[in-house]
Amino acid sequence: MKNNLKKKAIVTGCAGFIGSHMVEHLLKLNYHVIGIDNLSTGKLKFLEKPLKDRNFKFHKIDILKTKNLEKYFKSINLVIHLSANADVRNGFDNPKKDLEQNTLVTFKILNVMRKLDIKKIVFSSTGSIYGEPDIFPTKENQHFPIQTSLYGCSKLACEGLIQAFANGYNIKAYIFRFVSIFGKRYTHGHLYDFYKKIKKNPKKLHILGNGLQKKSYLNVNDCVEAIFIALKKSKKKVNIFNLGLEDFITVNQSVNIVCNFLNVKPLRIYSGGKRGWIGDSPKIYLDTKKIRNLGWKPKKNIRQSIHETLTFFKKNEWIFKK
């Protein structure tokens, strides 16, 4: 009982898709949870359940602008840093955004950890960090990659900072390189875009690239579970894990599922090319043996996750407003 009282975590980006699931999971595990979010993309509605829990406290703050960030980190022993600019596609329109929201925010958090002597961090990195890999499935220790997107390189910078801080200040780092995550509260990415566009015009659908890009997806609950398995079983200074399904589907197949679900047959108009946008990786397929070897086994496959997401959309069409 006394031991439980000591478990105090902070979740950045707590009102986001993955963040809100993370908060619920931590509360289930009897953590005291501080949640921070600037609500730029996160939604308070996603925290409906946690906000009723007396072990959860929410603060609306912008990490980059907040001067006294330390005060939210008092007596925290686990930092779960999920807040990020996750808009991979439009990075080149505004190159400063990824640098600020990802790299500089992460530096600020690490600096607070250093000052307050907080010794454990979980970080959401990305499969985009591998650029356009040439070996599939791609392992965590694959070739030194070449970056192709500002999102990917900002996450690479975060990983580097976390690793260096881990080495210099004796912090334990848990870095997870995600494929795209699906499930309830998913609110950005191509599935979201397709659904929104079809609802607006069921006759025509613009698709970026040639539709043959191969993407992998993971269910948000499987993702959160993997993180806690790693925390429990992996004890290196720097622990890096790919998280994904060892399976992928093409963008066209995703479109088929959305169209069947909505019972429409739009004319498909492709922008062409094997990449949806500059920096898009034509194939994402991560090797997840490392986390599987710790006993993790995902419960949902890609199609199940897509269906869960579409069902969430149908029940929550308010997320498409604005």
Piece of the chain touching a second copy by CB under 8 A; list 3-11, 30-38, 68-76, 154-162: 154-162
By C-alpha distance, which of 37, 20, 35 is closest to 105? 37
**Does the footprint of a second copy cover residue 66 (CB under 8 A)?**
no
Closer of 17 and 73 to a second copy (Cβ): 73
Is the Cβ–Cβ distance between 276 and 213 less than 8 Å? yes
Question: What is the rounded CA–CA span in Å between residue 236 and residue 103?
Answer: 23
Give 41 or 148: the residue with its C-beta nearer to a second copy.
148
Q: How many Å apart are CA 129 and CA 281, to the nearest integer? A: 10
- Residue 111 lies near a second copy (rule: CB under 8 A): yes
Could you tell me if 19 and 37 are in contact, meaning their C-beta atoms sit under 8 angstroms apart? yes
Residue from 144, 203, 263, 321 touching a second copy (CB under 8 A): that is 144
Closest separation in Å from C-beta 256 to a second copy = 30
Among 19, 35, 131, 183, binds a second copy (CB under 8 A): 131
Check residue 140 for interaction with a second copy (CB under 8 A).
yes
Looking at the annotation, which residues are catalytic?
151
Options 85, 103, 219, 242; binder of a second copy; rule CB under 8 A = 103
CA distance 19 to 166: 23
β partners of residue 9: 33, 78
Q: Residue written as tokens 């993370």? A: 22
Token pair 């191969």 is at which residue? Answer: 214
Contacting residue, 45, 49, 60, 143, with a second copy by CB under 8 A: 143
| Bridge partners of residue 269, in order along the sequence | 206
Question: Per rule CB under 8 A, is residue 278 in the interface with a second copy?
Answer: yes
Give the one residue of 152, 209, 211, 244 binding a second copy; rule: CB under 8 A.
Answer: 152
The answer to the question of residue 159 lying near a second copy (CB under 8 A) is yes
Stretch that binds a second copy, among 54-62, 68-76, 94-102, 187-195 (CB under 8 A): 94-102
Candidates 28, 84, 26; CA nearest to 227 is: 26
Hey, CA dihedral for 236, 100, 80, 132, is it positive or negative? negative
**DSSP H/E element including 126:** strand 120-126
Q: Which residues bind a second copy (CB under 8 A)?
A: 91-92, 95-96, 99, 103, 107, 110-111, 114, 131, 140-150, 152-154, 156-157, 159-161, 163-165, 167-169, 238, 240, 278-279
